[in-house]
Amino acid sequence: MYKHILIPTDGSPLSGLAVEQAVAFARAIGARVTLLTVVEPFHLLTTEAEQLSATRPEYEEHARRRANRFLAAASDVARTAGVPFETLQVMDEEPYRAIIDTATKRACDLIAMASHGRGGVAAVVLGSVTLKVLTHSKIPVLVYR
């Protein structure tokens, strides 16, 4: 059975539900979890409202604080469930690649994630992170819908 589950979160409502379900699954099977948030680097051209009016240092500080909030919420879920966990924040141009690379480097044997996060134009322009993880990962992926 699975021993180490990677749980990426982007702070979206569905991602929060996926964290809850994945942590409950980890507890049921006695696995530990790594909670991951991927922050995209500052871009001059972007669909992210925060980046449109920010300088690089302002954006990076805002992104770091936002990611810390996502990880704090996910940590509370794991702590309450009594599941051993670690948190990780990674900056990468390609969130799907960061998820797969983290799972590989941390020797995770399962990735558990939401079927989608952001919606609207950002989702169309960026593509589906979950679909890319499903397509490229050699590690099993459990998708919460």
pLDDT value at residue 126: 37
Q: Rounded to 5 degrees, what are φ and ψ at 139?
A: -90, 140
Q: What is the full per-residue pLDDT of the chain (145 aa) written as tens digits?
A: 899 999 999 999 999 999 999 999 999 999 999 999 999 887 666 566 665 556 778 888 889 999 999 999 999 999 999 999 999 999 999 999 999 999 999 999 999 999 876 554 444 433 489 999 999 999 999 999 8
The per-residue pLDDT for 124 is 46
pLDDT of amino acid 120? 46
**What is residue 122's predicted lDDT score, i.e. its pLDDT?**
45
**What local confidence, expressed as pLDDT, does residue 49 receive?**
61
Tell me the CA distances in angstroms from 68 to 8, 89, 93, one per residue in order.
13, 8, 19
- Give the homologous superfamily in CATH for domain 4-144: HUPs (3.40.50.620)
C-alpha distances out from residue 1 to 31, 95, 109, Å: 9, 27, 9
User: Looking at residue 121, what is its pLDDT?
Assistant: 45
> Which residue ranges make up each domain of the chain?
4-144
- Helix 129-136 × helix 95-105 angle, to 10°: 40
User: Per the structure block, which two tokens stand in for 56?
Assistant: 């690089």
